[in-house]
Chains A and B, each alone.
Chain A
Amino acid sequence: MAERAGIETSVAIGDAVKAADADVIAAYPITPQTHIVEHLAELVANGELDAEYIPVESEHSAMSACLGSAAAGARTFTASAGQGIELMHEVLYVASAMRLPIVMAVTNRAVSSPLSVWGDHSDVMSCRDVGWIQVFVENGQEAVDHTICAFRIAEDNNVLLPVMVNLDGFHLSHVIEPITVPDREEVEKYLPPNSYPLPLNPDKPVAMGDFAPPFIFTEAKWAQEMNIRKSYDHIIKAWQEFGEQFGRHYHPVEHYRTEGATTLLLTMGSFSETAMTAIDSMREKGEKVGLIRLRLWRPFPFEELRKALKGVDTLVVLDRAISVGGPGGPVASEVKAALYNQKDRPSVVSFVGGLGGRDVTREGFETIINRGREIAEKGSENEFEIHGVRE
């Protein structure tokens, strides 16, 4: 059995990829993802992981190499962040539409300009529509667990989609935490060998990544939509079975002290843990507040979210990304859209904060919740508010 030990989250992710016995890693280093791929390069160089490590010349090449690797049926991993995600952007669409099971850790980072290596969700929000399964984690243990789950989900022949595991740059990637990294024998029981149904094979040639004239393109896109929708049940199943084996349980929408709450805060990623302390302190004062976190961003958990918001008056959403010139926070605008046709729906108040590595403190979350309730009650002329800006 694996032991719990103090380890940097990035290093633990590398160890999880080793425990999953990945065949190919194609990656280009970028802050704050560097420690993940450095560690994997070491593991391969030391002979601890029997894999091809492809040190490519750019992120565009990293994802392109991953396409070829996954198409050949190899278990494939990469990691990136910020500008790196932007450079590989066009290839991300190709990976999902070709249904190639690639796993990528994204240490979420702001997108230039101004240049910032620090964390927020701008990079992943620009990838909203690339067709990948997208998961957010809150701590080092979750980062490890979801890296392992991601291989299982991606390679499930009912799914066959690339999976992005989002963890906050620095706030999570560079933090040393007590983490259990399951060993290979344990992971083998959970993760069967990769069995891509139509791999590249000279004895049985197939053509991949073909072009589609107008008569078939709509059908191809609808097939993709049906595929990711159907993946939902298999994601739940993979998480359930992970819980049964490892004792750690995950859900598309996670709850914290939501019993009897009339106001809920919605967050994603590592900020959720700070938000919990704010909820604790407000609950101690007798306030009916709670927290929900979106773990699964794509496919979007419509039903779970609506269920979680039954009987809630106010929902305050904190986005760590800004849709410049638009409705403010991308998560808030999607949550609003998901609730629009519901008869009984809470007021949804959108906040943007925690940009480019700026902390949101416990007091900050309390301010956001209180201001959110004020806006829900009195209304506001603004589409959204920005938290902590100096005026």
Chain B
Amino acid sequence: MVKQDNEVTWQDIEIGGIVTNPGNADYYRTGDWRSNKPVYEFSRCIKCGLCAIFCPEACITRNEEGYFEGDQYWCKGCGICAKECPVYAIKMVEEVE
């Protein structure tokens, strides 16, 4: 069974903190760093994909209808997608939870 974060002891740490299952940054929820979130207006979207190319988190993928959308588990709310969108289809609004 995998230990929860608050159960890991110093003895559990691998030599020099080496991570033997690389790629586990996937599990790290960076979405809760966000203070602004992107809101998509798909009626304006021309499916150019510039937002996905510029996204530093690489969390933007195409949805079933071919529109580009960021995964909010990882989106840090940096706003680069909104800045780069040539048709102003993305707006950053304040996260209010």
How far in angstroms is the closest Cβ of chain B from A169?
31
Q: How large is the interface on B (under 10, 10 to 19, 20 to 34, 35 or more residues)?
A: 10 to 19
29 contacts across the A-B interface (CB closer than 8 A): A97-B16, A97-B17, A98-B16, A98-B18, A99-B16, A160-B16, A198-B15, A206-B18, A207-B19, A207-B22, A207-B24, A208-B16, A208-B18, A209-B17, A210-B17, A210-B18, A210-B19, A212-B17, A215-B5, A215-B8, A216-B8, A219-B8, A220-B10, A220-B13, A220-B17, A222-B10, A223-B11, A223-B13, A223-B17
Where chain A touches its partner, the secondary structure class is: loop
Query: Is B15 in contact with A216, judged by CB distance below 8 angstroms?
Result: no
Query: Is B10 in contact with A226, judged by CB distance below 8 angstroms?
Result: yes
Q: Which residues of B contact A (CB under 8 A)?
A: 5-6, 8-20, 22, 24
Cα(A391)–Cα(B9), bound, Å: 57
Interface membership of A197, Cβ < 8 A: yes
Interface membership of A292, Cβ < 8 A: no
Known: A100-B16, A222-B10, A223-B17. 7 other contacts (CB 8 A): A97-B16, A198-B14, A207-B18, A210-B18, A215-B8, A216-B13, A219-B10
- Interface membership of chain A positions 346-359, coded 1 if the CB is closer than 8 angstroms to chain B and 0 otherwise: 00000000000000
How far in angstroms is the closest Cβ of chain A from B36?
23
How far in angstroms is the closest Cβ of chain B from A196?
9
Query: Is B9 in contact with A219, judged by CB distance below 8 angstroms?
Result: yes
How far in angstroms is the closest Cβ of chain A from B47?
35
Q: A97-B17, A198-B14, A220-B13 are in contact. Are A206 and B22 (CB under 8 A)?
A: yes
B residues less than 8 Å from A222 (CB atoms): 10
Cα(A219)–Cα(B14), bound, Å: 11
Query: Is A98 in contact with B5, judged by CB distance below 8 angstroms?
Result: no
Cα(A199)–Cα(B18), bound, Å: 10
B residues less than 8 Å from A160 (CB atoms): 15-16
Interface membership of A260, Cβ < 8 A: no
A residues less than 8 Å from B24 (CB atoms): 207
A residues less than 8 Å from B11 (CB atoms): 223
Q: A220-B10, A222-B10, A226-B10 are in contact. Are A98 and B20 (CB under 8 A)?
A: no
Cα(A203)–Cα(B68), bound, Å: 35
Which residue of B has the minimal Cβ distance to A222? B10
Q: A198-B20, A205-B22 are in contact. Are A99 and B15 (CB under 8 A)?
A: yes
Total interface residues on A, using CB and 8 Å?
21
Interface residues of A in 265-306 (CB under 8 A from B): none
B residues less than 8 Å from A206 (CB atoms): 18-20, 22
B residues less than 8 Å from A210 (CB atoms): 17-19
How far in angstroms is the closest Cβ of chain B from A205?
5
Cα(A271)–Cα(B32), bound, Å: 58
How far in angstroms is the closest Cβ of chain B from A187?
26
Cα(A222)–Cα(B17), bound, Å: 12
A residues less than 8 Å from B8 (CB atoms): 215-216, 219
Cα(A216)–Cα(B6), bound, Å: 8
Which residue of A has the minimal Cβ distance to B28? A213
Cα(A99)–Cα(B14), bound, Å: 10
Which residue of A has the minimal Cβ distance to B14? A198
Q: A219-B9, A219-B10 are in contact. Are A98 and B22 (CB under 8 A)?
A: no
- Interface membership of chain A positions 95-114, coded 1 if the CB is closer than 8 angstroms to chain B and 0 otherwise: 00111100000000000000
State the 9 A-B residue pairs at the shortest beta-carbon distance, nearest first. A99-B16, A207-B19, A219-B10, A98-B16, A207-B22, A223-B10, A222-B10, A223-B13, A215-B5
Q: A205-B22, A206-B20, A206-B22 are in contact. Are A219 and B15 (CB under 8 A)?
A: no
Query: Is B10 in contact with A98, judged by CB distance below 8 angstroms?
Result: no
Which residue of B has the minimal Cβ distance to A215? B5
How far in angstroms is the closest Cβ of chain A from B57?
16
Cα(A147)–Cα(B73), bound, Å: 51
Interface residues of A in 179-197 (CB under 8 A from B): 197
A residues less than 8 Å from B17 (CB atoms): 97-98, 208-210, 212, 220, 223
A residues less than 8 Å from B16 (CB atoms): 97-100, 160, 208
Cα(A221)–Cα(B53), bound, Å: 38
How far in angstroms is the closest Cβ of chain B from A93?
12
How far in angstroms is the closest Cβ of chain A from B18?
5
Which residue of B has the minimal Cβ distance to A221? B10
Cα(A208)–Cα(B19), bound, Å: 6
Cα(A160)–Cα(B14), bound, Å: 12
How far in angstroms is the closest Cβ of chain A from B1?
18
